[in-house]
Structure 1
């Protein structure tokens, strides 16, 4: 074996190793949710879902939190649509890439003053200072979301769930159909 082929092999080995490492670092935030006890995958909101959330928030104002905010579209669109109402919106997300994307998008669109995005587990995030909660969750997590919201939210708050309702509760308003359905719950009426 000569030195040239040894150098080429060494270079190829390091190149492929570096590529594999880079791919792993990029994909880990997207794959790791599958290893959690409760998996909340990233599924972008459709335009109809966003419109339904805005309808549910009509005549509302105050602080809003989007649990599992993904790419931040809900937070940014709500702030843009309700600018006259001075919504302050927060997105909670575990995926660092989605948080960075959300922050950048908010900055580019000029809404960074009224939006915040935090990399945090939604189960440890305290909801007591929020009057509006939006949840794009999975069916198996909705009973836990219901308990968390009822324990932490002030009585004048609303909970807006997308794709799945809160179990054993009657929604005050149901907007849309199919996967675009949004359920609105008034906490005061629940307690």
Structure 2
């Protein structure tokens, strides 16, 4: 898979995950509609789909940015899977996990919110399943090989053969 394709696919997957929050979640920090958008529902998949799309998308974006090599995609798939599982474990242990965060986190942008996320977040085993699925999907995508293209003459010969014509002279 080309680096640009990885980045585009990752951004598209992040956008799809964001749409779950915007259209299907009840009132919250990301929702624009009181009870979701009428007629749009992701059903039970809406509970874990963003958790699957996040490590999948981030692995593709990071690997694409790093050049698009399969080994890079494997690394980033494992990395983002571990980050997601770490965040879920933090929600499970709540205040105990928040107390273990390094003091330096409290003065760093974005990182100072992790403790609040651990304390106020809700652990869900389905989120763990989504994280594992998303990471595994990105990891397995690293083994994808682009199909070989047949030479032009072979493609025409294969097309014409059923009609009793041959291009060989």
Q: State if a TM-score over 0.5 links the two structures.
A: no
Asked which structure has the greater RCO (Cα within 8 Å, sep 6+), the reply is: 2
> TM-score, normalization: structure 2?
0.27
Name the structure with the higher helix share. Answer: 2
Between Structure 1 and Structure 2, which shows a larger proportion of strand residues? 1
Q: What's the TM-score once normalised by structure 1's chain length?
A: 0.25
Structure number with greater Rg is: 2
